Amino acid sequence: MKGNPPILVVTPAVADAELVAALLSEEFNNIRVSTKPEFAVSDFDEHRPAVLILAFDKLEDAEQYYRELYRLSSVAPTVPHRTLLLCTGSELWKVYELCKNAHFDDYILFWPATNDAPRLRMAVHHALRQTRQPPPDTVSAGQLVACAKQLATCDAQFEDHAAERSERINLATRSLSLAEAAIARELDGFLHKVRAMPSAITMAAGDVSDFERTIEQLKAEAIGNHVASIKHTMEEIREWLGSISLQPRIESARSLRELAEKFQPLVLVVDDDEFQHDLLRELLRDAGFRLVFATTGLEATAGLRQYRPDLVLMDIELPDISGIEVTRRLRRLPYMTDVPVIMITGNSERSVVIECLKAGATDFAVKPFDKTSLVAKINSSLSKRGVESCKS
């Protein structure tokens, strides 16, 4: 198959690396191997594989490799890839549990004597399909819904504007009529003053009459005609606005809001304490969120390849990588740069807060949790992200 993305086979056994590469070579032409532990990180960083195949004799060795890779490599968390484990029958259920919990992506029973080439190739095909991530500028469902909610709030404004536009035209028409009457009164007053002037006595009767006719003509034609023209134009505007029906737009906005309200943002909880998982499930049970959980930094980072959360609740103290480091790494992912990360911790020291903010945290939730405060923080963070997404 021409033009395959890189596939990296990692194993300390050269013979196993050659065997796996041979089994895949008929269908995949971009296969690389890494057999020297001291070059494990540099090999990954150089090849940036779309599929990582771990062919270790012992499961614990594969786990150790992957932990060290994420701890030492700044590239691994940012490269979309799927991880396949080649395992023995004796460790099959352990591997199954790890894949089920998203530590790894898939497994193939490979030892002691199976070497199931079709199964291995199919697993690689599936993995390659799944690594075809959406482009970084693709919006998430959460971003789209946030913008939809903002747009949907305009339905009331539409109705207000529909009522206001007619009132504004009526007010302008009345103001114009009042202005016309005021101008007429001023001209009549001016004419009255002219008549009362002593010089008016010396004016011939015909001249006075001509002057009065000029004033009346000014009122009737120059001013009156202009005012009438403006009124006519305003009536045309009224008719044009009346022909524009906002009702379909208002109904569409309402429907959009109803659909947006049904959406449940996906919240990734990263905490190694199962009790905290149960507590958060209970606290947020009726808050309108979907929850997924990770117990380690590695599991959280791997899980990001399977779903794109709308918000992350990140514990600072994790068993493998600190929550601060996980936050720093996920900020390097194009689709995670603006996802809110709320640190959950019992430590609110200033130095810790500053370090979390530098890593990219957006807020803090201090244990033990207060339900009202926690829900408010989550909703506020999601709302702010929606506003920024709509602006951009």
Q: What is the mean pLDDT of residues 22-45?
A: 94
Which range is least confidently modeled, 51-55, 77-81, 239-243, 376-380? 239-243
Which range is least confidently modeled, 54-58, 124-128, 386-390? 386-390
For β-strands 51-54 and 341-345, DSSP reports them as unpaired
How large is the angle between the packed helices 40-47 and 59-72, nearest 10 degrees?
70
* Angle value at C-alpha 276, between 270 and 281, nearest 5 degrees: 90
**Closest Cα partner for 119 from 6, 24, 14, 29?**
24
Give me the pLDDT at residue 15, please.
Answer: 93
How many angstroms separate the CA atoms of 304 and 360, rounded? 16
Spatial neighbors of 337 by CB under 8 A, at least 6 apart, are 331
Give me the pLDDT at residue 78, please.
Answer: 76
pTM over 0.95: no
Write the pLDDT tens digit of every residue in 320-376. 888 998 998 888 887 788 899 999 987 777 888 888 999 999 999 888 889 999 999
44, 52 Cβ separation under 8 angstroms: yes
For CA atoms 238, 241, 243, 247, give the dihedral sign.
Answer: negative
In the block, tokens 């103290």 appear at 317
The amino acid sitting at 80 is P
Give me the pLDDT at residue 250, please.
Answer: 61
**Closest Cα partner for 344 from 377, 375, 367?**
367
More confident site: 175 or 99: 99
More confident site: 84 or 351: 84
Give me the pLDDT at residue 341, please.
Answer: 95
More confident site: 162 or 40: 40
Work out the pLDDT band at 76, boundaries 50, 70, 90.
confident
Residue 312 has pLDDT above 90, yes or no: yes
Give me the pLDDT at residue 1, please.
Answer: 46
Work out the pLDDT band at 144, boundaries 50, 70, 90.
low
Per-residue DSSP letter, 10 = E
Write the pLDDT tens digit of every residue in 11-24. 999 999 999 999 99
* Angle value at C-alpha 244, between 241 and 248, nearest 5 degrees: 145
Give me the pLDDT at residue 333, please.
Answer: 81
Work out the pLDDT band at 103, boundaries 50, 70, 90.
confident
What integer best gives the mean pLDDT of the chain? 81
Residue 239 has pLDDT above 80, yes or no: no
Helices (H), 263-370: 274-283, 297-303, 323-330, 350-359
Residue 249 has pLDDT above 80, yes or no: no
Give me the pLDDT at residue 373, please.
Answer: 92
Percent of the chain clearing pLDDT 70 (strictly above): 77
Q: What is the mean pLDDT of residues 239-267?
A: 69
**Closest Cα partner for 169 from 240, 230, 235, 224?**
235
Instruction: Report CA-CA distances (Å) from 314 to 104, 174, 358.
Output: 20, 63, 15
In the block, tokens 């959360």 appear at 309
